[in-house]
Amino acid sequence: MVWDTDSTPISNYRFRRLRNRLLFFYFLIIAAILGTFSAAVYLLVARDRNQQLDTHLRQVTASSTGILEIIQHEYEELTTEDKYQGYVPVGNNGMPVPITLSQLMGKYQAKSASQIAVSPLAASHQGVEWYDAQRRLMVREGGLFLQTSLPSNIPQQGILMQAGNIRSFTKPVYAVSTMNPAQILGYVRVTESTVTLEAELHRLQWSLIVGVVTVSGLAALGGIWLTRESLKPVVQSFDQLKQFTSDASHELRNPLTVIRASIAVMQSHPERIHPADMEKLISMASASAQMSRLVDDLLLLARLDRQAPDQSGWRRIALDELLEDLMDLCRDRAEQSQISLKFQLVPGMEVSGDASQLQQLFMNLLTNALQYTPSGGTVMVSLQRMGTHALVTVQDTGIGIAPEHLLHIFDRFWRADQARSRYEAGSGLGLAIAKTIAQRHQGDITVQSELGEGSRFYVKLPLAG
């Protein structure tokens, strides 16, 4: 006996599915953890950077409110005193056009004015506007301004606003030592572009996405190795078990054949047997036949499990002909049980596969239908096309299957109690074999059934191209 335990580690499709499921969930968990972590990092950084920007806006506003009074004083001088006539340009509406700090201080000659002009307030992505108490813009500095007028309700502590990618902070300025709104001196509005901040956050977002994808990919690679290694012993013991089943069934076949042959010889000479032993002989014949069927089924299942689907021996099989032949084989049995056997087969549908395996698949379904249908019932086999697949339906008006049992009927050795009482010799391997064969032909079997009403087994097989 040869123990072939060093075969490809994940050879069986069930293990491949298990490994893929493990990998999938492992990958999903890693991606979810990394995703949540990255989202949290992004939100924290975004909140922090926005707060920094707001703090900066408030700081610039605070320093700009301090000079509002001076600005107002200087501006009034420029617009009211005759000697400065024409110093402040006038717009189409006859109102003075806002000027810059350096223009405002120009009257004192360049020295002091240039100092203010190069102040940090004048950066091109920022802007500061000084308004008088009547909300008229007097002076503006910097390179970025909102084209809108001041908001109508400005609270004492100021108001933060975002318009497009410009954030602004507007604050009323009160006469010193009073917070009475009647004593408003004017307003200051500071604006700052959020383009740099948004670009920075966008870069961070992409870095995090690339990071999550890369780490998840690497984790998946690690996961493939991990699942392969952890499943190796399980696959090996499963392989050993399959090998044992296959060897044991094989070894049991010969002695069973000898027993069955000996019983047949004894039965062919009834005169040599004492009449009292005849019944025992019949029981022995039936038990050995049952055992041999079981051994054959086990061997077939073990072989189907062990061998990778080998399509070299496959040929094109006309399903209608195959089904008709099987029904001919079942006709006698149906007549004996007084079951009417009907069929409705659309011709011209071919599948590629192993003829004897497909025969076994449909024979198992037909046998079940006949076994579990009381006399007077009907068994109907139909074949139709369903897109790129052939659909064979084996329908009976038999005992049916309880909903809670439907999940188990394809399990090996599973039999419903009702089935046991109807047909003792069964082993519960018929449907397991049928399902394995269907799957090896890239098809599947499904079932619909109602207790006491009957069952419908659907076999879907891909049509030969």
Ligand X SMILES: Nc1ncnc2c1ncn2[C@@H]1O[C@H](COP(=O)(O)OP(=O)(O)OP(=O)(O)O)[C@@H](O)[C@H]1O
- Interface with ligand X in residues 342-371 (CB under 6 A): 364, 368-369
Q: Minimum distance between the CB of residue 438 and Mg ion, rounded to whole angstroms?
A: 15
The reply to whether 74 sits near ligand X by the rule CB under 6 A is: no
Task: Scan for tokens 């062990």, then name that residue.
Answer: 306
Q: Minimum distance between the CB of residue 294 and Mg ion, rounded to whole angstroms?
A: 12
Taken as a whole, the chain contains a residue count of 465
Enter the tokens of residue 157. 């502590």
Which residue in the shown chain puts its C-beta closest to Mg ion? 430
* CB nearer to ligand X: pick between 38 and 455: 455
The reply to whether 426 sits near ligand X by the rule CB under 6 A is: yes
Enter the tokens of residue 214. 């890369």
Sheet holding 166-174, edge to edge: 137-142, 126-132, 184-193, 166-174, 159-163
Q: Which of 322, 340, 320 has the alpha carbon at shortest distance from 331?
A: 340
Q: Among residues 401, 437, 438, 445, which is the contact residue for ligand X, using CB under 6 A? A: 401
The reply to whether 431 sits near ligand X by the rule CB under 6 A is: yes
Q: Minimum distance between the CB of residue 409 and ligand X, rounded to whole angstroms?
A: 4
The reply to whether 429 sits near ligand X by the rule CB under 6 A is: yes
Position 127, amino acid: G
Which residue in the shown chain puts its C-beta closest to ligand X? 430
Q: Minimum distance between the CB of residue 248 and ligand X, rounded to whole angstroms?
A: 18
The option from ligand X, Mg ion, none interacting with 369 (CB < 5 to 8 A, set by class) reads ligand X
**How far lies 77's CA from each of 29, 111, 128, in Å?**
71, 19, 21
Instruction: Report residue 51 CA to chain centroid gap.
Output: 37
| Distance of alpha carbon 103 from alpha carbon 112, whole angstroms | 11
Q: Minimum distance between the CB of residue 296 and Mg ion, rounded to whole angstroms?
A: 13
* CB nearer to ligand X: pick between 236 and 439: 439
The option from ligand X, Mg ion, none interacting with 239 (CB < 5 to 8 A, set by class) reads none
- Which residues contact residue 166 at a Cβ distance below 8 angstroms, ignoring those fewer than 6 apart? 144, 146, 191, 192, 193, 194
Q: Minimum distance between the CB of residue 411 and ligand X, rounded to whole angstroms?
A: 8
**3 state DSSP class of 200:** helix
* CB nearer to ligand X: pick between 400 and 443: 400
What number of helices (H) and strands (E) belong to the chain? Answer: 10, 12
| Binding site residues, ligand X, CB under 6 A | 364, 368-369, 372, 396, 398-401, 409, 414-416, 419, 426-432, 455
